[in-house]
Amino acid sequence: MTAVHRAALEAGGPVLRFDNPLDESGNAVGMPVVVNLFGTTERVAAGLGIGLDGLDDLGAFLAALRAPTPPDGLRDALSRWPMLKAALATRPRIARSAPVQQVVHEGGDADLSGIPVQTHWPGDAGPLITWPVVITRPHGTAAEDVGLYNAGIYRVQVIGRDRAIMRWLPQRGGAAHHRGWARAGEKTPVAIALGADPATLLSAALPLPETVSELTFAGALNGARPRLVAARTVPLMVPAEAEIILEGWVSGTETAPEGPFGDHTGYYNPAEPFPVMQVTAITHRKDPLYLSTYTGRPPDEPAIIGEVFNRLALPTIRGQIPEIRDLWLPPAACSYRIAVVSIDKRYPGQARRVMMALWGMLPQFSYTKMIVAVDSDIDPRNWDDIAWALATRMDPARDVMLLENTPMDYLDFASPRAGLAGKMGIDATTKIDTETTREWGTVMRTAPEDAAFAADLLARRLPRLGV
């Protein structure tokens, strides 16, 4: 199934549905599998409730959430009405019953083998749930405090009929909640939504401010208040319209080796200990669909989502570093390990300042090992433009900046030590003032009137020639 999915994604193909999945023994599982939901940037934008042309507005909305400014009079307040309306839509509606609880399996009847969880790669340790929306809340809060919930996409390995491994990294919200419950000597209540609506899925992956709940922010994307329902065996509210909910408790002490699994780097990551979840209930619709994906060397769905999120993050980044004009994180570079940034350059040393600001001010660039800075006349998404800038505006002895012993993704096998590595900044901008002692060259450009004349001439003549 993964091979078929990958071939369809690379061809820009449609969403796929496998109606009759079989387990490793050839037995029918009886639950259809849906993949490639976010296989194109257009479908990712649709999941956010907009078209690609609406990404800039949504990015501005996200930037305003991080640094809101008070309305300047009635006119400005009215201009913000769409934002206010969206914020009001995030208040959840609590339902007494829900489609996701049409079928309930509790206690000994809760059996994960009834879900067609895939083993994606030949070297994988076993079945891996790849699109789970993992819902947690802080210790000391009530189930009704939905605004304090965290919803994240974490890897979940199935290790038994009612046991799974929760792989949440220390810096993630779910892990922080788990530490709070563990300090109190208690297990962490967890609910996992499988087949949540696209807005909820993408909200769980968005880099939202800590004060904004991913679960309720989906209401802003959907333009409607989210419907939640009380879980059956854990003190949590869960998405009422999801396909499947897994309920359970994550131990504060018990761990199991998770992995190895194929990862976004294109390599298998080693097995490591992570907390164990005891499943206490599985609820689902009468005819549920299991939503799945794979993670591997790009292209994959996370990389395509990353392209869209790149655009959404740009207004927030500009709010911190105003001279940035555009920024691209090449999907082929694992979506975050290389960045190309174009700037409006005005003074010597500015490119280096921007690169250090990206590394130092914005946490999402902590694991970016190389940044290439270019001028605003260079398209940072065009490799030919980037290569030309590197070849004509960069001197290796002068324009390469190296840093040592900086934070790095521990999955980066090229790093000399796990979690610690170097970074490289390349200044491929035009050198000005004291940055050079030589006269800089003048860029050749066609005169605008000549370009317009050529375009008009070709538009009139080429069709006659059958071109």
Residue 297, domain member (yes or no)? no
100 in the same domain as 206: yes
279 in the same domain as 136: yes
Tokens coding 423: 């970074």
DSSP 50: S
Residue 311, domain member (yes or no)? no
341 in the same domain as 286: no
Integer distance in angstroms from the first to the last C-alpha of the chain?
A: 42
Q: CATH number, domain at 261?
A: 2.30.110.10
Q: Please report the pLDDT score of residue 81 as a whole number.
A: 60
Distance CA 262, CA 177 (A): 27
238 in the same domain as 91: yes
Burial 179-213, CB ≥16 within 10 A → b, else e: ebbbeeeebbbbbbbbbbbbbbbbbbbbebeeebb
264 in the same domain as 337: no
- What are the two backbone dihedrals, phi and then psi, of residue 93, each rounded to the nearest 5 degrees? -105, 130
Residue 200, domain member (yes or no)? yes
Residue 34, domain member (yes or no)? yes
DSSP 15-40: -EEESS-B-TTS-B--S-EEE-TT-S
250 in the same domain as 362: no
Residue 369 belongs to domain spanning? 321-435
Q: CATH number, domain at 371?
A: 3.40.1670.10
173 in the same domain as 249: yes
Contacts with 113 (C-beta within 8 Å, 6 or more apart), sequence order: 23, 161
Residue 35, domain member (yes or no)? yes
DSSP 244-263: EEEEEEEEEEEEEEE--EE-
Any idea which residues carry the catalytic annotation?
Answer: 263
388 in the same domain as 242: no
Residue 229, domain member (yes or no)? yes
Distance CA 130, CA 268 (A): 15
* DSSP-based three-state secondary structure for 189: strand
168 in the same domain as 41: yes
Question: Which residues in the chain come in under a pLDDT of 70?
Answer: 67-90, 464-467
326 in the same domain as 287: no
> Whose structure tokens read 């087949």?
195
Contact 315, 59 (CB under 8 A): yes
Pinpoint the alpha helices (H) of 187-240.
198-205, 214-222
Q: Per the structure, how many domains does the chain have?
A: 2
271 in the same domain as 184: yes
Rounding to the nearest 10 degrees, give the CA dihedral for residues 41, 42, 43, 46: 120
Q: How far is CA 326 from the centre of its chain?
A: 19
Q: Please report the pLDDT score of residue 37 as a whole number.
A: 97
32 in the same domain as 95: yes
Residue 110, domain member (yes or no)? yes
Residue 50, domain member (yes or no)? yes
Distance CA 351, CA 432 (A): 11
